[in-house]
Structure 1
Amino acid sequence: MIYLNKMQVTKLKCDGIVIGVMFDHRIADGYSANMFISSWADITRSKTPSMIPSFERSYLKPRSPTVYSQLIDNVFAPFSPPSSNPDINYLGKEEGDEYLHVNRVYYIEGEQLKGLQLLVNENGARRSKLVAFTSFLWKQVALSMENSGKQNEACNVIVAVDGRRRLSEKEKMMMSHFGNVLSMPFGSKKPQELKEMSLSNVATTVQEFLQPATTKEHFLDIIDWVEEQKPRPLISKAVVNVRMSFTVSAGQKFEIMDKIDFGWGKVTFGSCHVPESRKDCFVMTMGSPTNDEDWVVYMHMPLMHMSFIEAHASHVFKPLNTDYIPI
């Protein structure tokens, strides 16, 4: 059974409509949430959904006997609340307004993304825009930590990897799978290390921890590992005993803007949202509703880091406003 925590439709004074859907991430990842919203919109217009969600679990069946590499132990860990396991400090809390988590939405122009990609490819490597963006943001957060006297603490970046295309030769069936099919590989460096590295070398580090998690064998290992851990909940190992970890998730291919229509016209803008009370840091990159080359970036981070990024990387991160998305 799928549990949706909440669905709400709000009509604005300008006659615009905001539709909000709250998902439990333990049940559905961003891909699944987008598939649900897209299918829902099709159904409201009496249209057959372009992709029927599948709840078939046969292609996620563990092997017998279960087997997995040690790499999995470097990606996930069984979760225990801090009160019952003092050795695990989950998303440690700090006092002060600068550590309050805030939500911001920016846009990044296509030319800036291409520029970052050229910088990370300067040694002849071929890195994706996502790797270039992740490398740039990782370094900015590290510089912010050093600026605030946290240069000796770890700075971790997690990149969410969708395993759907990697798990099955029956790609169409797997692409309609509703659930969680994610790996969470991460890199860990101290701010001083990242400060001294060129952006190209940071990108090499990102590529090195990302690459092993992009294979079919890796996701088969995850299925077996999760089977052995049941029913204990799991957590990204990047956040265990680390104060500053942030996740980058790519949503450029989600049908958020240009195709979703609930019967009132196509959606003007779509994004995700994390409650400000949440202490985990999350970044989602999405396609732009106005320019195919641009990205829209949602960020949930401590105010301290957001202020630093806005002060030192305003040429890349530009606040989303009605000048960019006319209403």
Structure 2
Amino acid sequence: MPIVTTEHIFHVGDDMVNDAPKEHDGGNKVAVVTSATTTVAPPLPLQEHLLPLSNLDLLLPPLDVSVFFCYADPAPTAAVLKEALAKTLVAYYPLAGEVVANGDGEPELLCNGRGVDFTEARVEGAALRELRLGLVDEGVEMLVPSKKAGVMSVQFTRFRCGGAVVGCTFDHRVCDAYSFNMFLVAWAAAARGSSAPPAPSFRRSLVAPRDPPPRAPSTDALVEHLFCPRSAVPPPPASAAGGGSINRIYRIAAADIAALKAAAGPGRTRLEAFTAHLWQLCSRAASSPRQPCCMGVVVDGRTRMFPDGAMKAYFGNVLTIPYGVVGSDELGGMDLPDVADDVHRWVAEAATGEHFRELVDWVAALRPEPAVARAYLGGTGGPEAMACIVSSGVSFPVGKADFGTGPPAFASYHFPWPGETGYVMPMPSARGDGDWVVYVHVTREFAKVIEEEPTVFQALETSYVFG
């Protein structure tokens, strides 16, 4: 692609990443100058072919997800990143392809070696530590690429201090976070000159429908409870205009995570306790005492479908989204252990190999009509519900995102998807001390409640990120 130059403006604080999670109240304007966009393709020839998306891939709408890494000086260089990316795309060739429509209008992968768009940019007049990372809407989105073509894109942004940000955006229909994590680890290993991790698997037979299915897919109550055809989705109510959603990044101390887990009761996981706490906060943000509050959790099905590890290297989507709905007044009166018990119950119902196989069969019977997860629609609470989804990234191997100059000083997801259903994505802090970094996309009312909550969610300060 030809060299181009564009400029974007965002704000930085004088000495803080996030002095308080609130509306922007000033700060300096800084230019992000894009100097070049090239296409990085795998160096080996590839026989062009089509790779069908699996039935589980087809449950995902056309949404892009981003992740970004901040590196203090010395940071990796664009040349090293591009060379390693080209090598890694040999094994991860679907990321170098394109999503096209088949004769039925369904998406599928054209594996043609097109390559990955790689944008180089620089920030003039600011150091990396001046970024107010917690206030995402002030300009963090300038540091992740907006994917215009292909499956994946990368942006490398250099700062005057010698630090840099590596941002990646990928098509969620092609893979989930688990899959993209595998790619990131392999890419970083190639940059370091380390031995390559195990190659990814694209065996669609692992998630193929049963022939014949043991029973009619339409009779599976759990699948029908969690998913529905898109044609059955009602239009949003006229009153759903709202004040729009905002994006924030917070941190949670390891001690507070442990305290939540203990308070949730014996046998409850950290994620179940966190989800229960967030659900209670949701009730405080409700517009009325009777408004339904829908909370969902993204569940990975790899080990559920194949406990023997046959899907450990599988590249694609293997997700379901169970949820619960409780009225805000009832939810607000419940103790944390009772809420955590409810979360555990509906997560456990869906976290089985049989559920995932029935989900695959159900999509096969529905095709080519697309489907959607009901949790995004408020579940049984309907479009009037306040809805939020938790997608866990707590197994994200942040320390392995070392491109030869050391691990990142900070990393986070970035997913400001269109819609007012909340999306919350915790991941380990790059400090490696057990803390969490939590990306939050929620309504302004929900964000206000989170920021008024005094013990768990904390502002993201410069001293925390860069010392």
Cα contact 1:163–1:183 (8 A) shared by 2: yes
Residues 154-169 of structure 1: pairs in structure 2 closer than 5 A = 154-169=292-307
Shift of the alpha carbon at 1:169? Answer: 4.3
Shift of the alpha carbon at 1:118? Answer: 2.0
Q: Where does residue 63 of structure 1 map in the other structure?
A: 210
Change (3 A) 1:137 1:91: farther
Q: Where does residue 259 of structure 1 map in the other structure?
A: 400
Q: Which has the larger radius of gyration?
A: 2
Q: Where does residue 250 of structure 1 map in the other structure?
A: 392
Residues 10-159 of structure 1: pairs in structure 2 closer than 5 A = 10-66=157-213, 67=215, 68=217, 69-80=220-231, 88-89=234-235, 94-95=240-241, 99-121=243-265, 125-145=266-286, 149-159=287-297
CA distance in 1, matches of 2:297, 2:340: 12
Q: Deviations over 1:152-188 (max 9, x none)?
A: 22210110110011111440x4111111000100001
CA distance in 2, matches of 1:64, 1:304: 48
CA distance in 2, matches of 1:131, 1:280: 19
Q: Where does residue 449 of structure 2 map in the other structure?
A: 308
Q: Aligned partner of 1:245: which letter?
A: A
Q: Where does residue 325 of structure 2 map in the other structure?
A: 188
CA distance in 2, matches of 1:32, 1:291: 22
Shift of the alpha carbon at 1:90? Answer: 5.6
Number of aligned pairs?
311
Change (3 A) 1:92 1:259: farther
Residues 232-247 of structure 1: pairs in structure 2 closer than 5 A = 232-240=369-377, 241-242=382-383, 243-247=385-389
CA distance in 2, matches of 1:192, 1:29: 35
Change (3 A) 1:91 1:310: farther
CA distance in 2, matches of 1:22, 1:57: 24
CA distance in 2, matches of 1:118, 1:79: 40
**Normalized per residue, which structure has more strand?**
2
Greater mean deviation of Cα atoms: 33-42 or 180-189: 33-42
Structure 2 stretches of 5 or more lacking a match? Answer: 1-93, 99-150
Q: Provide the TM-score with structure 2 as the length reference.
A: 0.63
CA distance in 2, matches of 1:293, 1:91: 42
CA distance in 2, matches of 1:42, 1:219: 32
Cα contact 1:103–1:276 (8 A) shared by 2: no
Aligned-pair identity (%): 35
Shift of the alpha carbon at 1:49? Answer: 2.7
Q: Any idea what SS the aligned residue of 2:156 has?
A: strand
Q: Where does residue 464 of structure 2 map in the other structure?
A: 324
Q: 2:356 aligns with which of 219, 224, 229?
A: 219
Q: Which has the higher contact order (CA 8 A, sep 6+)?
A: 1
Cα contact 1:42–1:49 (8 A) shared by 2: yes
Change (3 A) 1:239 1:91: farther
Greater mean deviation of Cα atoms: 188-197 or 10-19: 10-19
Change (3 A) 1:135 1:271: same
Cα contact 2:376–2:389 (8 A) shared by 1: no
Shift of the alpha carbon at 1:316? Answer: 0.6
Change (3 A) 1:283 1:46: same
Cα contact 1:93–1:279 (8 A) shared by 2: no
CA distance in 2, matches of 1:128, 1:227: 33
Shift of the alpha carbon at 1:92? Answer: 8.0
Change (3 A) 1:64 1:276: closer
Q: Any idea what SS the aligned residue of 1:203 has?
A: helix
